[in-house]
Each structure stands twice: as C-alpha cells, then as structure tokens.
Amino acid sequence: MDTSETYITMCEKATEIQAIGQERHRDTHAEWWTDKQGAICTEDDGFYFYEPCIWLPRQDQLQDMIPLPSDFHRVCDKLYKFTDWVKVNATYESSACTLEQMWLAFVMYEKHGKVWDGKDWVKEQNDHRPVD
C-alpha cells in the first residue's frame, strides 16, 4: 500500500475520489486513511475520525472504479487498456511511480479527463479519449 507523500497529495487533490471515500467511510471498514499530519490509520485499528481525513484507495479499489464496457469484456481487457495508457503516458512508464499512483492517474484521466501535473489535477488540453 502506497503511503508516500506523493500519493497522499495526489489523493487529497483528487476531490472526485475523495467524495467516493467519504461515502465508503460510512459504509465499510478496513479502509486506509491519513490525517493532515500524515498518520496512517485504518478503521479496523479502532481509529475514529475527529477531523476530515484523506482516503488512500488501494489498487483494487482504483481498478474497480473503471467499469468493463460490457458483460462480454474480460478483466484483462481493462488491464490492456491500462497498459496502453501507461505506454502513451511515458511520464508514468519511465518514473518511479507506484502502481497506486499510476492507477489513480488512469482513473482520473478516464473518468474525469484530468492529468497530474506534479502539484494538482488539471483538465487535459488534448483529450484523446475515445467517445463511448
């Protein structure tokens, strides 16, 4: 599980993802969170949130945010799409990004048309995503 400063910042700035995390916080347990001081905690550790915390989605949770196009597609089709995206975005392929960072960037691009500029999520200028 990525608990790096980079991933925490990426998650914090991904307001669309944080909205999902706030919903999950009410419904599930064993989620990874961090407070503003960077203390990593999970609900099943008996930690109760007294201030807004940042949701750190696991890789499987990020993968679940990308739906399969139809019942006829396989999970590996999602992985092929992710792999193709990583190849096109050489920044991620050639960097020391973790898989959580890459999957978060993929989700933000696919679902919201945003890219990580190193400080924040910005709308992609040349959005080449295929229209469904």
What is the tens place of the pLDDT at every residue in 19-75?
888 776 655 544 667 766 666 666 555 555 555 678 888 898 999 999 877 777 777
Pairwise CA distance, residues 21 & 24, whole Å: 5
- Distances in Å between the Cα of 117 and the Cα atoms of 5, 64, 92, 105 are 15, 24, 12, 10
pTM above threshold 0.85:
no
Query: With 0-12 CB in 10 A as exposed, 13-18 as middle and 19+ as buried, what is 53?
Result: buried
Is-contact 105 116, C-beta < 8 A?
A: yes
For the chain, what are the domain ranges? 5-123
Q: What is the mean pLDDT of the chain?
A: 79
Q: Residue 11: what pLDDT?
A: 94
